[in-house]
Amino acid sequence: MSQVTWEESRLRNATWEYGSKNKRQRSHDYKFVFEDPHRQLDFIKTSVINGDKMLQKERKTLPIYHYREQVLRAVQENQVVVIVGETGSGKTTQIPQYLHEAGYTKHGKVGCTQPRRVAAISVAARVSREMGVKLGHEVGYSIRFEDCTSEKTVLKYMTDGMVLREMLSDPKLESYSVLMVDEAHERTLSTDILLGIFKDLVRLRSDLKLLISSATLDAEKFSTYFNFAPILRVPGRRYPVEIHYTKAPESNYIDAAIVTTLEIHATQASGDILVFLTGQEEIETVEEILKERIRKLGTKIGELIVCPVYANLPTELQAKIFVPTPDGARKVVLATNIAETLLTIDGIKYVVDSGYSKMKWYNPKTGMESLLVYPISKASAMQRAGRSGRTGPGKCFRLYTINSYQEDMEDNTVPEIQRTNLANVILILKNLGIDDLLNFDFLDSPPQELLRKALELLYALGALNQVGELTKVGRQMAEFPLDPMLSKMIVASDKFKCSNEIITIAALLSVGNSVFYRPKNKKFLADNARMNFYQGDSGDHIALLNVYNSWKENDYSKQWCYDNFIQFRSMKHARDIRDQLTCLVERVGIELTSSLCNLEAMKKAIISGFLLHTARLQKNGSYWTVKHPQKVHVHPSSGLAQVPKRWVIYHELVLTTKEYMRQVTELKPEWLFEIAPHYYMLKDVEDLRKKMPRVAGRPWLKT
DNA sequence: GAGCACTGC
């Protein structure tokens, strides 16, 4: 499929974006709920996902116990084995122990990768208890900012991203005899890169054993990918779940979710409800309406405890979902995708599935990211339904028809590697000596346009040379767990003697969340507090630096954050990243230097990394990007939103209601020639309407 | 004059 049709199909599938038009329409729809409180939805019960029979008989033992010998034989006879173990099979805790008992740890470690930090920690803790050893001794874990292993460690649980970092110093992972890639079906970016690397690695290391653990649906795919590796199936522990679909398509899933929740509450046996929605705003709306409706119904209906949960909700409030429901009451948890895999809530008997979630898409043509409300996949729908059958038989109410499930939904969620900026992925792979990326055997190949865009960027940053090999700068950059533009900014800061300031800015920019807190009812106060960090119109990057340094002067205080409308959680995270970067900077031979008063030096370092992210003011007040010209605007949250500057550099482009530049700083155009003479010529500045000169010679792009 | 799915290094 060509790039254009690929993207168009993505956009067609998306239902709507954030936008004022949409909001009006939706709030109008909400009214409907109040006007017609007796509206009901027609559901059709179609199918039951079967539970496992073993459950009733052998509740006390893990299913995997019966497969010990089979697992060991499969591993002995094959280099690669795919294990299908449903939730609750015990594969993650038991298989590494079996391998240890069978002697696989005599000449190397058994490593087990997890997509998430908490999973790595909790599984390691559990296994160390089972083996009666201290955590960090024979059994340990390794995650970012925390290495809980020792020389004794033979069973090591770690995040998949951590393995990639380990490969910087041990490219063939020679300290391991077995690697188990757990939850491979989740297809995180790191898992996909690992699988690609491992496919090569098993050829180079015939002594290495590889286990891929996946869900049922993807097992064949993994098996085929690894030259038809055998598949071993281990049953899980699951209760049956009844699936109900709506009879007719629902145009408004928010309304439908509310009605369905109330119907379950009024007519179904006790048991808590989990409702899958797409975001915070939606959850707050549904919460409000549900509470209002319940209040109006008064004593006609039992108590309904409404608990919202999403990642940005403070941890204290998130904890509310785990409080057991009192007798006679019912709990309804309104959740984002966070409850699909990350949080497991006991006592859920009913699931209401909107059929949508938010997904981030990166458009390589424009370099813009957007968050779209997007239909979930069948795999995702199964996972959601399964959340109702953890502690007893469950029911799942899907707010879509069986026809749209069967015909419209994709089998699997589009893997992250096909919809994200790949610059960092390329840098990692190049650093591991994988050069021919356009022909690299990915489990699912990213669109060529994504690869090409990433290669182009790395070339512009000087990380790759004319023939596509990693340069010295590129190798330095690869050490940093950051977007390559941020890494380049740090590497360049050496020359401008401001590495100390630049790593602070890089740490803050790489924290996903905004550090500025802006509660709905205190927007004015929050905006005022924010402006205190801007001296004159020095720009958003410097403002971030000011925030961090003020926080530091106030002993990293939580209270200071509250007083200044700063997110404490984000700041702590930035501090951890900053500490890590400080170590790495020394490792790659960059001196820690400070020039706090030299704004020009800092801006030049920033330009070195973000040389492609420049924009120029137009007569009509909007901006035009310099490379790959397109119209963009300064984001209203920027300190420069009210102060037009002729030339700016921006951190990122996001497409929401408009094309916005986020994190903007002014620059002098002559700095561009000084810093990037290979990329900027006088012509670029003089006349933007002329076609941009192309950089000559990128032979590795020829296909 | 904004619009904040979710991980991870």
How many Å apart are A693 CA and B4 C1'? 38
Query: What pLDDT does residue A304 have?
Result: 93
- Per-residue pLDDT at A323 exceeds 80: yes
- Nucleotides in chain B with any atom closer than 7 Å to protein CB: 1-9
**Is residue A477 a contact partner of residue A487, using CB atoms and an 8 Å limit?**
yes
Query: What pLDDT does residue A390 have?
Result: 85
**Is residue A320 a contact partner of residue A262, using CB atoms and an 8 Å limit?**
no
* Proportion of chain A above pLDDT 90, given as a percent: 70
Structure tokens at A590: 């960059």
Q: Across all residues in chain A, what is the average pLDDT?
A: 87
- Per-residue pLDDT at A64 exceeds 90: no
Query: What pLDDT does residue A89 have?
Result: 83
Query: What pLDDT does residue A521 have?
Result: 85
Instruction: Report how far residue A74's alpha carbon sits from residue A590's, in angstroms, rounded to the nearest whole number.
Output: 48
Count of residues in chain A: 703
How many Å apart are A473 CA and B5 C1'? 35
Nearest nucleotide to A360, CA against C1' atoms: B5
- Per-residue pLDDT at A560 exceeds 80: yes
How many Å apart are A33 CA and B8 C1'? 40
Beta-sheet strand order (sheet of A43-49): A43-49, A241-246, A394-398, A348-353, A272-276, A329-335, A303-309
Nearest nucleotide to A336, CA against C1' atoms: B5
Chain segment A173-226, per-residue pLDDT in tens: 999 999 999 999 999 999 999 999 999 999 999 999 999 998 887 899 999 999
Query: What pLDDT does residue A638 have?
Result: 92
Chain segment A2-51, per-residue pLDDT in tens: 333 333 443 344 433 322 333 333 333 333 333 344 566 788 777 676 65
Residue A633, H or E segment: strand A631-634
Query: What pLDDT does residue A63 have?
Result: 80
Tell me the sheet residues that pair with A140: A156
**Cα dist. A402→A45, A207, A390, A426 in Å?**
10, 48, 24, 40
Query: What pLDDT does residue A36 have?
Result: 43
- Per-residue pLDDT at A395 exceeds 60: yes
Confidence of residue A450 (pLDDT cuts 50, 70, 90): very high
If you average pLDDT over residues A76-101, what whole number do you get? 91
Confidence of residue A301 (pLDDT cuts 50, 70, 90): confident
Work out the number of other CB atoms within 10 angstroms of the CB of residue A678. 11
- pTM, two decimals, is 0.87
How many Å apart are A252 CA and B2 C1'? 25
Chain segment A571-583, per-residue pLDDT in tens: 999 999 999 999 9
Taking the C1' atom of B3, which residue's CA lies nearest?
Answer: A18
- Per-residue pLDDT at A82 exceeds 60: yes
Chain segment A397-441, per-residue pLDDT in tens: 999 999 999 999 999 999 999 999 999 999 999 999 998 888 899
- Per-residue pLDDT at A689 exceeds 70: no
Confidence of residue A683 (pLDDT cuts 50, 70, 90): low
Phi and psi, residue A442, nearest 5°: -75, 155
Least confidently predicted of A113-127, A334-348, A600-614, A681-695: A681-695
Taking the C1' atom of B2, which residue's CA lies nearest?
Answer: A636
Query: What pLDDT does residue A435 have?
Result: 86
If you average pLDDT over residues A596-625, what whole number do you get? 92
- Per-residue pLDDT at A237 exceeds 80: no
Chain segment A498-551, per-residue pLDDT in tens: 999 999 999 999 997 889 998 888 888 999 999 999 987 889 999 999 999 999
**Cα dist. A507→A57, A74, A163, A423 in Å?**
53, 45, 22, 18
How many Å apart are A643 CA and B8 C1'? 37
If you average pLDDT over residues A382-387, what whole number do you get? 92
| DSSP code per residue over A6-66 | HHHHHHHH----S-HHHHHHHHHHHHHHHH-TT----EEEEEEE---THHHHTTTS-GGGG
Taking the C1' atom of B9, which residue's CA lies nearest?
Answer: A481
How many Å apart are A75 CA and B7 C1'? 30
If you average pLDDT over residues A350-367, what whole number do you get? 94
